[in-house]
Amino acid sequence: MVQYSAERVDASFAALSDATRRGVLEQLGHAEASITDLAEKFQMTLTGMKKHVGVLEQAGLVVTEKVGRVRTCRLGRSRLEQETAWIERYRQLWHQRFDALDAVVGELARKEQADGRRQRR
């Protein structure tokens, strides 16, 4: 299940506000890459790239794994995971709507009952 947190939304937004980070995501969409590869491709220092990847990782957009001395980066979510997450959010939306609908229908039923009682008197 996908948890909705304001922090997570903020993190995603912050992560995507930077052109380099959007480029990194696009790059990782083609293939996994090490931080060294990414630093070279985007012509920046290893430290700079580590920071960018860290931001993407915090937003859940990228996951990294260290094997030996190399840290490999890939996209955080597969298409299937994305679909599952969307369906869960869609379910949440309708669940809240239906809870509210339940309350509206309950109120209508109570009103009718009360009106009926009044008429019978």
* Binding mask of the shown chain, residues 9 to 48, with x at each position contacting another protein by CB under 8 A: xx-xx-xx-----x--xx-xxxx-----------------
How many residues make contact with another protein (CB under 8 A)?
47
- Are 55 and 21 in contact by the 8 Å Cβ rule? The answer is yes
| Rg over CA atoms, the chain | 24
Tell me: does residue 53 bind another protein (CB under 8 A). Answer: no
Angle at 73 between CA 14 and CA 83, to 5 degrees: 70
For residue 62, give the nearest of 22, 9, 111 by alpha carbon: 22
Our finding on whether 4 is near another protein (CB under 8 A) is yes
Sites of contact with another protein (CB under 8 A): 4, 8-10, 12-13, 15-16, 22, 25-26, 28-31, 59, 61, 75-79, 82-83, 85-91, 93-98, 100-106, 108-109, 112
